[in-house]
Structure formats: C-alpha cells, structure tokens
Structure 1
C-alpha cells in the first residue's frame, strides 16, 4: 500500500465549496435574484483565490506543475491507466475550463447588472450558455473521475476529501514523475 499526500486543505475546501456554489446557483437560486448574484460573486472570489494559490500554493496545487500541454496530453493518452500523483493532463484541462467558465459567468453576471448592459438579451443568452457549458463540464468531470478511479483503482473522490491518494496492491502504479513524459 502506498499513500501520497496530494491535495492540501485549501485545494480540497476550494473544490467542494465551488461544487456546492455552482450546484446551488444552477438548481436552487437560478433566476438571477439577490441570492443567485451573491453566490455567483462568492464563486468568482473563490476562483480568484484559487488563481493566487495556483501560483504560490503547495506542490500539487501549483498550475505550473500540471499545465495541460499538448505533449503531456498525448503522453498521457498513450499510457492508459497510469496513475498521476496530482492532476492528470485531462483533469488539468478540466480544472482550467471550469475556472475559466466561473470567471466568465461572474463577469457576464456582473455586466447584466450594470446600466450599460441592463436588459440586454444577448448578454443573458451568453451567460446562460456559459452556465450550460459549465454544467456539461461538471458532468464530464464526474464521469472522468469515475472512469479514472475504476481504471487505476484509486478512489479519487476520497482523495479529494482526505488529501491522500492511496494505491493498493491491485491499483495502477503512480507515475515516476509528477508530470507525464512529453513535457
């Protein structure tokens, strides 16, 4: 049995808090009222904090350690079943997509409340499209985590709760490096 501490407290708290905020705004506070706006601003603030942590945070939280370059993605896809200590390149791409979409939603949501864009239907449509794409990404994220957990036999949701990735005797070995070959 091998145990690796990967996800620090901030990363785990950010992940689960952002998940709750996104789901609340999509399914409970949808409609643009005050709660929807404040939850959206909270999500945007949380993403801004994650951007800072991605520059100065712990080893596996830093964006420089898992940025999804084409070479990393190709190398990862060529070695199916490899277990990464941190994010695999496809998971990293999803991290950036979700963070970018939350920023886009926060900006478009804020713009809809300004005098210049109040009542602009095209902006509301853009905001709703970003929301739909975000929910599709969340669904893909959950499916990807499920698939990788089954493929590697490493319980990734548990790792995001405890901070530790645990590899049993029948699990895929961790990659020898933090990143895939092809960097």
Structure 2
C-alpha cells in the first residue's frame, strides 16, 4: 500500500481473479451466441466455464484476502442494509466486494453452475459428456432443455444487473471499478480509509 497525491493505492484483485473474471465474461458471451449454430464451440465453452467455476470455488477458500468468500459473502440483513444505504447516497465504501456485490458473485456462480449442469445433462442423454450413463439420462429431456435455457437467460439478466451495479458504485464512490478489475488496484482517498474491509 503506497500513498500518492493524498491517495492510497491498494492492491485488491490478484492476477488469477482478474483472469477468471474476464475469461468468464468472454466464455459466457461466446457460449450464449453459439447455442444454435456452432454447437461444438458451445460445448467447449460450457466445459471451460465449468472449469472456471471449480477454480473460483477453490480460490474463494485458499486465495488471497479479497478473493476469499469470507471477505465478501455476508448475511441477507447486511445486504439489505447496504442496498437501502444506496438510496441515501451514503453507502459504505468497501475495498473489495460490497455486500450486494458479494451476493451477485454467489448468484452468478450458482446460475452458471446450473446452466452447465443442465447442458451436460442434455449431452448425457445423447450418451456424451462427463455425465453420460449417470442418473440424469432418466430426466425429462424437454424439461432439462427448458431449464438450461432458463438458467442461461437468468445468467444474462444477472450480468446486466451486475454491470448496472458496477456503474452505480463507480459513480457513487468516484472510482473506476472496471479499471480496477484490469489493473488489480484501487485508488482511495487516504483520509477515508477506516479498515481492511471497507472505507
């Protein structure tokens, strides 16, 4: 942590978190756009997303401070309190994910995991993929296909909400969160730093 022009430059996002974030954004975009016409690409993107999810779950346990789930996954009361504080324009400024952002991380990972699971279930019904021969082949194919599409569209909706949240938070706290996820650092006013969790 260093000080420059009355600001503290804080290293927040480690390289693996940043690579995960942008790779996930890219792979989901490709997967969503190739669903109908480029099935092979769609399948491999699904596998790649699944691998990224597994990595993030592990990194959320053993990774550095701001990557760990214990740093940003909070109870619903804290999330609600934070969202209400946004309406007043006086929301606490967190170094890492704020409570709403933490909730979004969990929601996205869960929705993506379900999307991948139902996609692999469809493959298994054609005797392909890692779930081939398992109990999932006895599920209703039309139901599974509908759930796969529902979860994919649900993920897209969460992505739009996530982007809106990033914009709102960037404006309220006068920081560039997109740049922070590229560079890994945040520049905070030195006089406002109150602790490791939020400022």
Same fold (TM over 0.5): yes
Match of residue 94, structure 1, among 82, 90, 104: 104
Aligned residue number for residue 131 of structure 2: none
Name the count of aligned residue pairs.
Answer: 177
RMSD between aligned residues = 2.2
Unaligned runs of 5+ in 2: 1-6, 126-136
Match of residue 154, structure 2, among 116, 133, 140: 133
Asked if the contact 1:153/1:167 (under 8 Å) is kept, the reply is: no
Match of residue 55, structure 1, among 34, 50, 61: 61
Structure with the greater relative contact order (CA < 8 A, sep ≥ 6): 1 or 2?
Answer: 1
Match of residue 83, structure 1, among 90, 93, 102: 93
Flag the 1:175–1:97 CA change in 2: closer, same or farther, 3 A. Answer: farther
Aligned residue number for residue 52 of structure 2: 46
Q: Give the structure-2-normalised TM-score.
A: 0.82
Aligned residue number for residue 34 of structure 1: 40
**Alignment of 1:176 onto 2:192:** no
Asked if the contact 2:93/2:198 (under 8 Å) is kept, the reply is: no
* Post-superposition CA distance 1:106-130 (Å, at most 9, x none): 1100000113269811111100000
Distance 2:45 2:152 in 1: 14
After superposing on structure 2, the runs of 4+ consecutive aligned residues of structure 1 that deviate more than 4 Å are: none
Q: Which has the larger radius of gyration?
A: 2
Flag the 1:70–1:38 CA change in 2: closer, same or farther, 3 A. Answer: same
Unaligned runs of 5+ in 1: none
Secondary structure in 2 matching 1:10: helix
Distance 1:76 1:129 in 2: 29
Flag the 1:78–1:173 CA change in 2: closer, same or farther, 3 A. Answer: farther
Aligned residue number for residue 30 of structure 2: 24
Tell me the CA shift for residue 34 of structure 1.
1.3
**Alignment of 1:120 onto 2:141:** yes
Match of residue 104, structure 1, among 103, 114, 117: 114
Flag the 1:137–1:25 CA change in 2: closer, same or farther, 3 A. Answer: same
Secondary structure in 2 matching 1:7: coil
Distance 2:12 2:124 in 1: 41
Asked if the contact 1:7/1:164 (under 8 Å) is kept, the reply is: yes
